[in-house]
Amino acid sequence: MQGSIIDKKLRQVAIIAVVTNLLLAVLKVAVGLIFKSMAVLADGIDTSTDILTSSTMLLATIISRRPPDKEHPYGHQKAENIGAKIISFVVFYAGVSLLIESLHRLITGRYQVLEGFLPLLVAVLSVAGKTFLFTIEYSTGKKYKSNSMVAEAKNMRNDILLSGLVFLGVGLNKIGLAWMDPLIGVVMSGIIIKVAWEVFEENAHELMDGLKEDEMWIYENIFKVCKECGALNPHKVRVRKVGGKFDIDMDIEVNGTMSVKEAHDITKCIKKKLSDTKEIYDVVIHVEPEENDETEPFGLSEKH
């Protein structure tokens, strides 16, 4: 029941994002072409890519909520990371394309003073629309631990700045600084490329089962819980993320004369205390006799 509620909320926000971006894209591209504004047109093209990224986000959130199955025993949560990486590629392509065209216009002098106030009005509407999308996407993505939605929200945050720059560029253009229009296009493209790299890097790290610096506390918590439950020498501790939760795999040692039930009670204690954080996906514990001597794969221990 809880999962279906989350799915419904994520889908609602994703659909709102697609519709809002569609309306803004049509408006900005039309105004950019009619008034021959490179900045407004660039903003419209960027928003057009947002339609694709919002659709990708919607698909990724739907796939990621599927339960584990025979082919995917760990579930489908990493679909969101894949969706976020697709978003980064699309945004990067848009940024490079805008950079090339803006530089071309700036260098060749293909710019002019814009007429009318519609380009300014469109920029204001864009700032308002993007602020609305950022607010609902970021809060919803964080609440329901949706990586692709958080990535899309960061792109919206970027778009707020871009639309603000468009407003500034169009405003300065109208007072006689015609070259500001393509110059703002260059600045916008640089920001787009930067955000694309940040989204790519963050999700590539998680796809490689890496943890961020501010997530390393989980190891200290594991060692603390093992000590409280009477486990000896917790080692070969490996933690990765499955969706927004931690998947833990580790070895512990117990007194060699201890019964199977007594050793099992220790593992139950560890699992219960760790799961109390509500951030645990699964815990797998291998029990060894005390001072076990064998070569084992990489994993952290209290000594590291």
Model confidence at 205: pLDDT above 80: no
Task: Name the percent of the chain lying above pLDDT 90.
Answer: 22
pLDDT tens-digit map of 117-148: 888 889 899 999 999 999 999 999 888 877 77
What the block records as the tokens of 242 is 């499955």
Model confidence at 1: pLDDT above 70: no
Handedness of CA 68, 71, 74, 79 (dihedral sign): negative
What is the DSSP code (8-state) at residue 247?
E
Handedness of CA 41, 43, 45, 51 (dihedral sign): negative
Per-residue pLDDT, averaged over 204-225, amounts to 85
CB < 8 Å & 24+ apart, contacts of 152-157: 152/17, 152/50, 152/53, 152/54, 152/57, 152/84, 152/87, 154/195, 154/198, 154/199, 155/50, 155/53, 155/87, 155/91, 155/195, 155/199, 156/17, 156/50, 156/130
Higher pLDDT, 289 or 72: 289
pLDDT tens-digit map of 60-111: 667 777 778 888 877 777 777 777 788 788 878 878 887 888 888 888 887 7
Tell which residue, 26, 40, 23, 21, has the closest CA to residue 120. 40
pLDDT value for 285: 94
H-assigned helices in the chain = 2-35, 38-64, 79-108, 118-143, 147-174, 180-207, 217-229, 260-275
- Integer Cα distance of 182 and 300 in angstroms: 52
Cβ contacts of 268 within 8 Å, gap of 6 or more: none
Task: Name the percent of the chain lying above pLDDT 70.
Answer: 93
Whole-model pTM: value is: 0.64
Backbone angles phi, psi at 117, to 5 degrees: -110, 0
What does pLDDT average to over the chain?
83
pLDDT tens-digit map of 7-41: 678 788 888 888 898 899 899 889 888 887 777 87
48-52, 180-184, 187-191, 215-219 — most confident range:
215-219
Per-residue confidence at 263, pLDDT binned at 50, 70, 90? very high
